[in-house]
Amino acid sequence: QQQVKQSPQSLIVQKGGIPIINCAYENTAFDYFPWYQQFPGKGPALLIAIRPDVSEKKEGRFTISFNKSAKQFSLHIMDSQPGDSATYFCAASIGNFGNEKLTFGTGTRLTIIP
Amino acid sequence: DARVTQTPRHKVTEMGQEVTMRCQPILGHNTVFWYRQTMMQGLELLAYFRNRAPLDDSGMPKDRFSAEMPDATLATLKIQPSEPRDSAVYFCASGLSDGYTFGSGTRLTVV
């Protein structure tokens, strides 16, 4: 079973802090790595994604760092806000068009306290 | 904003009954996925289609689950007979490229 390992399981950060969520994968064939954000009662929503030809991608306050040799990638949220409190999932797929089946991490429940 | 529509949002049924969940993908998206989310197993792929053709249904218990796309605007997931262990949130998602969009899910409870 192809796996994506995600940590931590839960995270509490003060407003303005920088939560960091980490993921590691085994299958070197993976070539598309998205992060999804999920609020209670809603489906996951694509936040940001990276392909292995770059080491970092930034969109607004969200940054993915990617380390191909270590087979790890992480999500950083700058200037975190209470509205960022949600569950975050990393994922990976083979086929970098972004519409192939995803293998998801187990999720990180993030709480931003005022 | 284009969105994936799933019906029903909630379903409570008795063990042994048939359950049908429906999904209307975003117009123009050629790939449709069914995922199941539980506390224990997280998000698991059940099946997916491209241009209405099934690509992979290896995540689905074939003896009781079936997934179809009768046309480009409708995907269905059927469970017959349902069991308490099928209780979960079932998500449909659709995409074309650069990631896909999930619906809000069907929360299924089998008692």
Model pLDDT, residue A2: 56
Ramachandran bin of B15, using left for φ above 0, alpha for ψ from -120 to 50, beta for the remaining angles: beta
Mutate to test the interface with A, among B6, B24, B30, B43 (most CBs of A within 10 A): B43
CB contact under 8 A, B97 and A42: no
**Which chain A residues touch B101 with a CB distance below 8 Å?**
45-46
**Which chain A residues touch B102 with a CB distance below 8 Å?**
36, 43-45
Q: Please give the mean pLDDT across all residues of chain A.
A: 94
% of chain A surpassing 70 pLDDT: 97
CB contact under 8 A, B98 and A97: yes
Q: What is the mean pLDDT of each run of 10 residues along chain B (111 residues)?
A: 94 98 96 95 94 92 95 97 97 90 97 97
CA dihedral B38, B39, B42, B47 (to 10 degrees): -10
Mutate to test the interface with B, among A101, A103, A106, A109 (most CBs of B within 10 A): A101
B43–chain A Cβ distance below 8 A for any pair: yes
DSSP-assigned states of every residue in A38-80: E-TTS--EEEEEE-TT-SEEEETTEEEEEETTTTEEEEEETT-
Model pLDDT, residue B98: 77
**Cα distance between residue A3 and residue B67, in whole Å:** 25
Model pLDDT, residue A95: 81
CA B13 vs CA A8, A74, B44, B49, B90: distances in Å: 35, 40, 22, 27, 15
Condensed to tens digits (0 to 9), the pLDDT of residues A2-32 reads 599 999 999 999 999 999 999 999 999 999 9
Residue type for position A103: T
pLDDT band at A96 (very low <50, low <70, confident <90, very high): low
**Which chain A residues touch B30 with a CB distance below 8 Å?**
99
SS3 B21: strand
Give the strands of the sheet with B74-79, arranged side by side. Answer: B5-7, B19-24, B74-79, B65-71
A49–chain B Cβ distance below 8 A for any pair: yes
B31–chain A Cβ distance below 8 A for any pair: yes
End-to-end CA distance of chain A: 40
A40–chain B Cβ distance below 8 A for any pair: no
% of chain B surpassing 90 pLDDT: 87
Closest CA to B89 of B23, B45, B19, B35: B35
**Cα distance between residue A33 and residue B43, in whole Å:** 16
Name the more confident of B9 and A98.
Answer: B9
% of chain A surpassing 90 pLDDT: 90
Condensed to tens digits (0 to 9), the pLDDT of residues A39-63 reads 999 999 999 999 999 999 999 999 9
CB contact under 8 A, A44 and B99: no
